[in-house]
C-alpha cells in the first residue's frame, strides 16, 4: 500500500508535470522544424595519421527560434518515438549528398568520404534503399563516397532484413560504419555476418584511455578485431595528443575529435589539415 501511495504521488509530481509539458512543447516545435527550415548540418573532419582529412561526418543541428541551437541528443530520441525521424533523416541525407556532390566536383577533395548517421527506425522504413538511391541520383553525389553510420541496435531485430539492405546499397558502392561500437548489444556473431566497412570506437572508451586499463584493453582489442575482420577502424572523441598517440601506436589510423576539429557549418570547415 505504501509503494502504491508513492506511485500515486509520483504521478502527480509537479516537476514531472513540467517535464512532460516541456517535452510536448519540444515535440510540437520539432514538427515545425522542417517546414520552417530550422535544421542545419555541421561537419566534423576525420583525419589520418598525418593529419590529412580523409572524411567528414555530418552532424545534425536544430536552430530553434527561441532556444537557439538544440543538440541532436535532445531531439533525435524524441523524433525516433514519433516517426518524425523519417522525414528528418531524409532531409539529412539529401542535404549531406548535395554537399558531397559539391566536394566531388573539386579534385582536391576527390578522396574524401562523407559519413551520415542513420537511425534504426529510418533504416527499417520499407523504402529506405530506394530513397537513398533516389537522393544519390538527384544530387549527383558519388555513392562510393557516402558512408552510412548505423548502430548496433539495428542488428538486434530483423537481422536478415538489415543484411540484405546493406548488401543492396553496397552493390551501388555505398559503405557502412558501425557507430558507437562496444556500447550496445555487440555480438561478434552479428559482426561476422554483417557486410560492414568500418567500426567506430565509441568516445566513452577513448575518453578513458590512459586513465583506465579496462578502456585500454577494450580499445586495443577492438582495433585488433577490426583489423582481423579487415574493417577500417575510427576512433571518435579524440581530444588530447596523448590519446592520439596511444591510438596511432595501437594501429588505429583514422581519428575524429575536438583535437582535430569540432563540428562546424560547412563555411567554417578546414579541409586542408
The reply on whether position 179 binds ligand C2E by CB under 6 A is yes
Which of these ranges, 88-96, 98-106, 115-123, 257-265, lies near Ca ion under the rule CB under 5 A?
Answer: 115-123
The reply on whether position 148 binds ligand C2E by CB under 6 A is no
Which of these ranges, 12-20, 133-141, 159-167, 256-264, lies near ligand C2E under the rule CB under 6 A?
Answer: 256-264
The reply on whether position 76 binds ligand C2E by CB under 6 A is yes
- Widest CA span in the chain: 72
The reply on whether position 117 binds ligand C2E by CB under 6 A is yes
Residue 75: strand, helix, or coil: helix
Residue placing its CB nearer to ligand C2E in the complex, 15 or 73 = 73
The reply on whether position 134 binds ligand C2E by CB under 6 A is no
State in angstroms the smallest separation of the CB of 28 from ligand C2E. Answer: 20
CA 164/CA 32 separation, integer angstroms:
34
Total binding residues for ligand C2E by CB under 6 A? Answer: 21
The reply on whether position 17 binds ligand C2E by CB under 6 A is no
Residues 6+ positions from 248 with CB-CB distance below 8 Å: 49, 255
CA 200/CA 177 separation, integer angstroms:
7
Beta bridge partners of 195: none
Q: Which does 113 bind (CB under 5 to 8 A by kind): Ca ion, ligand C2E, none?
A: none
Total binding residues for Ca ion by CB under 5 A? Answer: 4
Cell of 39: 535544421
In contact, 168 and 187? CB cutoff 8 Å: no
The reply on whether position 186 binds ligand C2E by CB under 6 A is no
Neighbours of 237 (CB within 10 A): 19
Residues 6+ positions from 70 with CB-CB distance below 8 Å: 61, 62, 63, 64
Residue placing its CB nearer to Ca ion in the complex, 149 or 152 = 149
The reply on whether position 180 binds Ca ion by CB under 5 A is yes
Q: Which residue has the cell 582536391?
A: 108
State in angstroms the smallest separation of the CB of 243 from ligand C2E. Answer: 9
According to DSSP, the β-strands at 254-256 and 39-47 are antiparallel
CA 94/CA 120 separation, integer angstroms:
18
Q: Which residues of 193-229 are buried (b: 16+ CB within 10 A; e: fewer)?
A: ebebbbbbbbbebbbbbeeeeebbebbbebbebbeee
The reply on whether position 211 binds ligand C2E by CB under 6 A is no
Residue placing its CB nearer to ligand C2E in the complex, 142 or 237 = 237
Which of these ranges, 105-113, 162-170, 213-221, 255-263, lies near ligand C2E under the rule CB under 6 A?
Answer: 255-263
In contact, 97 and 113? CB cutoff 8 Å: no
Contact residues toward ligand C2E (CB under 6 A) are 44, 59-60, 71-73, 76, 89, 92, 117, 119, 179-180, 203, 236-239, 257-258, 263
Contact residues toward Ca ion (CB under 5 A) are 117, 149, 179-180
Amino acid at each position: 500500500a505504501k509503494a502504491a501511495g508513492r506511485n500515486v504521488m509520483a504521478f502527480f509530481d509537479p516537476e514531472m508535470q513540467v517535464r512532460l509539458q516541456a517535452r510536448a512543447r519540444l515535440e510540437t516545435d520539432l514538427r515545425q522544424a522542417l517546414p520552417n527550415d530550422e535544421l542545419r548540418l555541421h561537419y566534423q573532419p576525420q583525419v589520418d595519421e598525418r593529419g590529412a582529412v580523409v572524411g567528414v561526418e555530418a552532424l545534425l543541428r536544430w536552430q530553434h527560434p527561441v532556444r537557439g541551437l538544440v543538440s541532436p541528443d535532445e531531439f533525435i530520441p524524441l523524433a525516433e518515438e514519433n516517426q518524425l525521424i523519417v522525414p528528418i533523416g531524409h532531409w539529412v541525407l539529401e542535404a549531406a549528398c548535395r554537399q558531397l556532390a559539391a566536394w566531388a566536383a573539386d579534385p582536391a577533395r576527390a578522396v574524401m568520404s562523407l559519413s551520415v548517421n542513420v537511425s534504426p527506425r529510418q533504416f527499417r522504413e520499407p523504402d529506405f534503399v530506394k530513397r537513398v538511391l533516389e537522393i544519390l541520383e538527384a544530387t549527383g553525389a558519388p555513392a562510393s563516397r557516402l558512408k552510412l553510420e548505423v548502430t548496433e541496435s539495428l542488428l538486434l531485430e530483423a537481422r536478415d532484413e538489415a543484411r540484405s539492405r546493406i548488401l543492396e546499397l553496397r552493390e551501388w558502392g555505398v559503405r557502412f560504419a558501425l557507430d558507437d561500437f562496444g556500447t550496445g548489444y555487440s555480438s561478434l556473431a552479428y559482426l561476422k555476418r554483417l557486410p560492414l566497412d568500418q567500426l567506430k570506437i565509441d568516445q566513452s572508451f577513448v575518453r578513458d584511455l590512459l586513465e583506465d586499463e579496462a578502456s585500454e584493453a577494450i580499445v586495443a582489442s577492438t582495433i585488433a578485431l577490426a583489423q582481423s575482420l579487415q574493417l577500417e577502424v575510427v576512433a571518435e572523441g579524440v581530444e588530447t595528443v596523448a590519446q592520439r598517440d596511444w591510438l596511432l601506436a595501437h594501429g588505429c589510423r583514422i581519428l575524429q575529435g575536438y583535437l582535430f576539429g569540432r563540428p562546424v557549418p560547412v563555411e567554417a570547415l578546414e579541409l586542408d589539415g
